[in-house]
Structure 1
């Protein structure tokens, strides 16, 4: 039986924020687009986007989709950073208004629904192999009931940190450190604000908590050696560490042995970010420290830049294959500089390996 084959101008692997935004921009430019989408398994972990997210989405004409996903306004953030006492930051005077708590699965679903309206071919499956030929990239895709081939003049990898397609084409991942996040949803107590986030530093890392659709999302960011990943009672370790963060534990009622979502959370980037007939966007191109709260913002902005670069490639403007990676590298190195500056402001634990490692300036070109 012949394997179904589809030929398009642009094929995008991954239909999160980055992939969906890239698909919409390519389709609006008149390109035929295939968006390959594995069913999401992500839970809402109370993610927050900064005020700068709004003008970007308005420019991309995607603000209505964001509002339909049901975000909640966030007018203040609290932090215990450099001091045990919480400090509050208000957005009331910010030119772009407030920050926003995002239900990411709902926002991604809205973007995919809009993609379907733009005649983008949505393929429910995942890429198992990629082959780069002279004038196109061949993607081998497994769906729930069949295998198929997708040939594209340009492929955009939006598969997240795994960068599954780009690594299959020869790229490698450069990890700056082994930062890991351990997250769960807790019951909020009377000390938890209705909309505010809280970041609290401790000697072994820092805690983040923010309202989510099903409670209060609480996340520990630390190094892997702090906890025993092989232990049967990882949740109990997490709860014991939570008690060392008094402001966070005062607003979160955790289960005795909660199930934790464990994920790599450190900065990393792809090397290279682009190649002949392909490029990576969003987390596939670069991941940022969660302290920056810029992961979703970067996903949308890099997707826009990547889609424009893909369109330029289709018109034989090969400068885009160097301009786009240069942009991503410059943004990532600036993030690393700002990250080191921010971590160095926490001086309460000079003997802590976690804090000394992150206070040392890093570069992705070392």
Structure 2
């Protein structure tokens, strides 16, 4: 078995992991003249799991993310990729009235609808260019002694494995993170929200707007996605809706809504891909850091997609955590504790935002989906 010794191993090559690796390599080279050895373990070709069948579920970045992308040194590449702009967010929430949030009112300007395959490729290429090493495969923690982590990297079909030994571990594996389970870390699930979604082909070019509409047993979301398609998604609780039945009738149900029908006029509703289901509920790690480890992005805390914070939060936590990891490597024992403490205001702000959004819809307050959220959001997690 090949053994690879590094200072920092980052498990997860998405936006959080790639941004931390890029920033850490850059900052440490600037400070000491010698970049710490940073290894990123990615599950496979960047974006492969999304690909044409899982497009990132209509993910967007706000205009404010431009500052983060410039700091990462990938802004020019991002612009060259041509991610479509998001000019406005439309909604029917709390009443049948159509509300419009125009990007012209945002000081940072319009955001973007993100092609996650291209975006993830860009960020990982940025990490490589700053000196980080990227390996493909699935990582598993097999040991943790004082001052050293041991992980095995395996790839599908391979007969041999690599062992990684690292001084510091970063968990950037996303909302389903179980990486640190072997050392006793567990996630707290706040709710079991699921998303039933399909991709629809377009009849003609779509407007750069997203749309949200509440319903008695959940809420709809639709937006154009890169590649001349439109995402159609319904979010609900599996205890409230027969999810299997909904998968087979997603288009018909959308067509029964006047508001959704208006938004889907540019799409071929009867030619969508097979509907799929994914987890979308909020969850978090009970503890997000230790003396020689840190969870970032969705691995630390994942948000209800209604908050539209996930992708920006991944970039932000990757960037801001890199300095703390670098300081921890040179003996600053309090650096990670400060970073861990800074997570709590973010979680509190998310909870307050979510509480406000769900509390503003009262038309179905007696229905199970809304009753559960109104009750849950009134109690601090």
TM-score scaled by structure 2?
Answer: 0.89
5 Å-filtered alignment, 1:350-365, equals: 350-360=365-375, 362=377
Structure 2 residue 101 is the aligned partner of structure 1 residue 89: yes
Structure 2 residue 292 is the aligned partner of structure 1 residue 284: no
Q: Distance in 2 between matches of 1:65 and 1:317?
A: 35
Structure 2 residue 170 is the aligned partner of structure 1 residue 156: yes
Deviations 1:37-59 (A, max 9, x none): 11231121321122221222223
Deviations 1:256-307 (A, max 9, x none): 7842231111111011111231111111000011011110000011111222
Deviates more, 1:115-124 or 1:207-216: 115-124
Q: Distance in 1 between matches of 2:223 and 2:272?
A: 20
Please name the residue that 1:26 is paired with.
Answer: 24
SS in 1 for 2:134: strand
Matching residue within 322, 340, 344 for 1:325:
340
Q: Distance in 1 between matches of 2:155 and 2:105?
A: 49
Q: CA deviation at 1:228?
A: 2.7
Mark the runs of 5 or more structure 1 residues left unpaired by the alignment: none
Matching residue within 64, 69, 78 for 1:57:
69
Matching residue within 30, 36, 42 for 1:37:
42
Mark the runs of 5 or more structure 2 residues left unpaired by the alignment: 29-34
Structure 2 residue 129 is the aligned partner of structure 1 residue 117: yes
Please name the residue that 1:138 is paired with.
Answer: 150
Please name the residue that 1:201 is paired with.
Answer: 214
Q: Closer, same or farther in 2 for the Cα pair 1:60/1:222, shift >3 Å?
A: same
Aligned residues of 1:273 and 1:280 also touching (Cα < 8 A)? yes
Q: CA deviation at 1:169?
A: 2.4
TM-score scaled by structure 1?
Answer: 0.92
Please name the residue that 1:167 is paired with.
Answer: 181
Please name the residue that 1:69 is paired with.
Answer: 81
Q: CA deviation at 1:234?
A: 4.6
Aligned residues of 1:337 and 1:361 also touching (Cα < 8 A)? no
Deviates more, 1:295-304 or 1:322-331: 322-331
Deviates more, 1:254-263 or 1:287-296: 254-263
Q: Distance in 1 between matches of 2:380 and 2:100?
A: 36
Deviations 1:332-358 (A, max 9, x none): 121011101111111111211212222
SS in 1 for 2:94: coil
Deviates more, 1:241-250 or 1:145-154: 241-250
Please name the residue that 2:10 is paired with.
Answer: 12
Deviations 1:224-271 (A, max 9, x none): 123334x4x552232343234322233143337842231111111011
Please name the residue that 2:32 is paired with.
Answer: none
Please name the residue that 1:213 is paired with.
Answer: 226
Instruction: Give aligned pairs, total.
Output: 361
SS in 2 for 1:224: coil
Aligned residues of 1:131 and 1:139 also touching (Cα < 8 A)? yes
Give 4+ residue runs of structure 1 displaced > 3 Å after superposition: 255-258, 360-366
Aligned residues of 1:239 and 1:256 also touching (Cα < 8 A)? no
5 Å-filtered alignment, 1:305-320, equals: 305-320=320-335
Please name the residue that 1:263 is paired with.
Answer: 278
Q: Closer, same or farther in 2 for the Cα pair 1:364/1:65, shift >3 Å?
A: farther
Aligned residues of 1:77 and 1:90 also touching (Cα < 8 A)? yes
Q: CA deviation at 1:87?
A: 1.3
Deviations 1:18-42 (A, max 9, x none): 1110111111122211110112311
Q: Distance in 2 between matches of 1:169 and 1:52?
A: 37
Structure 2 residue 254 is the aligned partner of structure 1 residue 242: yes
Structure 2 residue 86 is the aligned partner of structure 1 residue 78: no
Q: Distance in 2 between matches of 1:131 and 1:260?
A: 40
Query: Cα RMSD between the aligned structures?
Result: 2.1
Q: Distance in 1 between matches of 2:238 and 2:220?
A: 15
